[in-house]
Amino acid sequence: MANIISDDTIEYVGILAKLELKEEEKARAKKDMSEMLDYIDKLNELDTDGVEPMSHIFPVSNVFREDIVTNTDGSKDTLLNAPKQKDGGFMVPKTIGS
Amino acid sequence: MSKIYETVIGLEVHVELATKTKIFCSCSTAFGGAPNTHTCPVCTGMPGALPVLNRQVVEYAMAVGIATNCKITQYCKFDRKNYFYPDNPQNYQISQLYLPICRDGGIEIETAAGKKTVGIHEIHMEEDAGKLVHDEWEDVSIVDYNRSGVPLIEIVSEPDMRSAEEVIAYLEKLRLIIQYLGASDCKLNEGSMRADVNLSVREAGAKEFGTRTEMKNLNSFKAIARAVEGERARQIELLEEGKKIIQETRRWDDNKETSHTMRSKEDAKDYRYFPEPDLVPVVINDEWIAEVRSRQPEMRQEKMARYQTQYGLPAYDAGILTGDKTFADLFEAAVEICGKPKKVSNWIMVETIRLLKENGMSPDQIQFSPENLAKIVRLSDEGTVTNTVAKEVFELVFLKDIDPEAYIKEHGLSTVSDEGALRAAVEQVIRENPQSVEDYHNGKEKAIGFLVGQTMRAMKGKANPAMVNQLLRELLQAI
Ligand SMILES: [Zn+2]
């Protein structure tokens, strides 16, 4: 393995992904991540000079909708996914400390 | 000797576009719907739901870019900005990082310090987040996704402003341009225009910028001006004490006139942008740009010139009327109906502005229709009502948009020109004010003004003023 993932990196990625990992999970994730980076290094060996960066896998552009309202009241379906609800909204833990 | 500091300010302005539907789905953007009624799988981030771009969003963004002298990016695309927050159901926001739709523009502002150009670094398209309401009774927040997916443009300025005055001038100019384009109503108090202020200070003459902070939660021009002053003072104080300024996001509390830090270290600002795989690129050819350019409406300078040539208005009137889109629209619509430009202009510039001030309102809060304004102009111009009555009735038009014609009829407020009735009223006023009559006969011209006033008062402002004047002189001569 050419790429070594540090404890700090795995901690940081965990925070970004909002994941709490156990020690053995961290070890496994470190190994997986270093293998992924090794694979990317392999791809980087390819000479891409003069090749346009690809922004999409399909050779398609300009797919648009016209600005017309066709959706009707979607609250019932939307709220089916709410673990808790109140006054027609999703109830979540308080987001701002005072 | 104390040091002299320069303030360096750049703005990030978010503007909600005036489309009927959201940026990536056909849900309504109407304001004030019951919670979550304007939602679908796309704007609530359901797995497998696919976004499709609203063409009108691209056109509004182009229109704003053209009007602010930007270059249009002819091959542009969207990127994903990743973060977790309950107002963001997808756990990412679709935005533009690498190829924003507009770049390298600028607008000219004018302040007491003179004219200058504030550069526009870029304008990009993105989606708004949902709304969180903090419950007063329980320790919870309630999420409404009606705003989720409403189209925004973010206009990022260069750090070209040096004072609160320049910041306000820039924002006012930007708002006026966007309102003229019809791309947004730009209401700061309703959140359809929001400004984040990036500010740093440095010693005058220094080449390097100081460490900047970003200030959020600014929902009026006054709050923005106070926040600029407050943050400038805070940073200078830190530097004077030999302390360091921390690069951070701060939340302005306008009631306390202070700011406090908003983000903790836990929420690192690492958005891991990557190209949005669910949307294809947008290719804008020269024809499309030319088409949008040809549809650009008349802007302020052209309108000002036209008001003077077409309607014969003084430059002063034209300046005030075109300085606010609501005034300009109201003026044009009312003139269209009654054909009296100078009279309409006067009613807007005097009575309307006075009532706005008295009621603590801004022009965009005007409720009355141009039809009713045109009626007031016609009724007072034709002499159907006196000036006094017209002003009183106009207050009701202003407050409740009543039909002034019907109101005048219903309450019998038409000008009284009946000679018998006026003669009786004048005779009574003469009887009741012998002192003024004597003053008049002793050569005090002013006394007649008082007697006219008393007659008008007795007639509740409805008496034909010319006739009252004439009758008074006639009856006083006879004494
Ligand atoms: Zn939707």
CB B425 within 8 Å of CB B462: no
**Minimum-distance CB partner of A78 among B36, B55, B134:** B36
Distance from CA of B237 to the nearest CA of A (A): 25
Chain A residue with Cα closest to B29 = A69
Chain B residues inside the 8 Å CB shell of A90: 36, 86, 142-143, 145
Phi, psi for residue A91 in degrees, rounded to 5: -95, 125
User: Torsion angle, CA of B199/B103/B169/B20, rounded to 10 degrees?
Assistant: -110
Instruction: Measure the CA–CA gap between B400 and B402, rounded to whole angstroms.
Output: 5
**Minimum-distance CB partner of B140 among A70, A79, A93:** A93
Chain A residue with Cα closest to B275 = A55
Name the helix (H) or strand (E) containing B155. strand B151-157
Distance from CA of A42 to the nearest CA of B (A): 21
Check A94 against B140: CB less than 8 A apart: yes
Distance B429 CA to ligand 1 centre (A): 71
Check A65 against B36: CB less than 8 A apart: no
**Minimum-distance CB partner of A63 among B36, B52, B134:** B52
Q: Are strands B79-82 and B274-275 parallel, antiparallel or unpaired?
A: antiparallel
Residue from B454, B458, B408, B416 nearest B435 by CA:
B454
Distance from CA of B255 to the nearest CA of A (A): 15
Phi, psi for residue B84 in degrees, rounded to 5: -105, 125
Structure tokens at B318: 């034209």
CB B56 within 8 Å of CB A67: yes
Output the 3-class SS for B211-254.
Answer: CCEEEECCCCHHHHHHHHHHHHHHHHHHHHCCCCCCCCEEEEEC
Instruction: Measure the CA–CA gap between B31 and B129, rounded to whole angstroms.
Output: 14
Structure confidence at residue A1 (pLDDT): 64
Go through chain A and tell me how many residues it has: 98
Structure confidence at residue B263 (pLDDT): 64
**Minimum-distance CB partner of A18 among B20, B84, B145:** B84
Instruction: Measure the CA–CA gap between B95 and B113, rounded to whole angstroms.
Output: 36
Per DSSP, A46 falls in state S
Task: Give me the residues paired with residue B258 across strands.
Answer: B253
Check A16 against B270: CB less than 8 A apart: yes
CB B196 within 8 Å of CB B218: yes
Structure confidence at residue B177 (pLDDT): 96
Helix, strand, coil percentages, rounded to 5, for chain A:
40, 10, 55
Q: Where are the alpha helices (DSSP H) in B312-369?
A: 315-322, 325-338, 341-346, 353-358
Q: Are strands B213-216 and B249-253 parallel, antiparallel or unpaired?
A: parallel
Residue from B224, B65, B268 nearest B156 by CA:
B65
Contact residues, chain A to chain B, C-beta under 8 Å:
12, 15-16, 18, 55-58, 60-71, 73-75, 77-79, 81, 86-96
Structure tokens at B323: 């300085």
Name the E strands within B361-412: none
Its pTM stands at 0.83
Structure tokens at B52: 């499709």
Distance from CA of B19 to the nearest CA of A (A): 7
Check B28 against A12: CB less than 8 A apart: no
CB B144 within 8 Å of CB B36: yes
Chain B residues inside the 8 Å CB shell of A74: 27, 36-40
Which stretches in chain B have pLDDT values below 70? 1, 263-268
Structure confidence at residue B268 (pLDDT): 57
* Residue whose token pair is 């609160």: B164
Query: Going from the N-terminus, what domains does chain B have, and what CATH number goes with each?
Result: 5-287 (no CATH), 298-410 (no CATH), 419-478 (1.10.10.410)
Mapping DSSP to helix (H, G, I), strand (E, B) and coil, where does residue B335 land? helix
N- to C-terminal Cα separation, chain A? 47
Q: How many CB atoms lie within 10 A of CB B225?
A: 17
Q: Given its phi and psi angles, is residue B312 left (phi above 0), alpha (psi -120 to 50 degrees) or beta?
A: left
Name the helix (H) or strand (E) containing B81. strand B79-82
User: Torsion angle, CA of B280/B286/B288/B292, rounded to 10 degrees?
Assistant: 130
Chain B residue with Cα closest to A71 = B27
Chain A residues inside the 8 Å CB shell of B82: 16
Structure confidence at residue B394 (pLDDT): 95
Distance B179 CA to ligand 1 centre (A): 26
Residue from B45, B267, B276, B52 nearest B148 by CA:
B45
Q: Is the dihedral of CA B324, B330, B331, B336 positive or negative?
A: positive
**Minimum-distance CB partner of B141 among A61, A78, A92:** A92
Query: Going from the N-terminus, what domains does chain A have, and what CATH number goes with each?
Result: 7-44 (1.10.20)
Mutate: best of A8, A20, A60, A62, partner B, most B CBs <10 A: A62
Distance from CA of B271 to the nearest CA of A (A): 9
Instruction: Measure the CA–CA gap between B356 and B347, rounded to whole angstroms.
Output: 12
Distance B36 CA to ligand 1 centre (A): 10
Structure confidence at residue B383 (pLDDT): 83
Distance B143 CA to ligand 1 centre (A): 15
Which stretches in chain A have pLDDT values below 50? 97-98
Question: Which amino acid, B305?
Answer: A
Structure tokens at B35: 């919670």
Instruction: Measure the CA–CA gap between B61 and B123, rounded to whole angstroms.
Output: 8
Q: Where are the alpha helices (DSSP H) in chain A?
A: 7-16, 23-44, 75-79
Distance B76 CA to ligand 1 centre (A): 23
The angle at the Cα of B414, spanning B408 to B420, to the nearest 5 degrees, equals 150
Q: How many CB atoms lie within 10 A of CB B78?
A: 30
Residue from B10, B7, B12 nearest B159 by CA:
B10
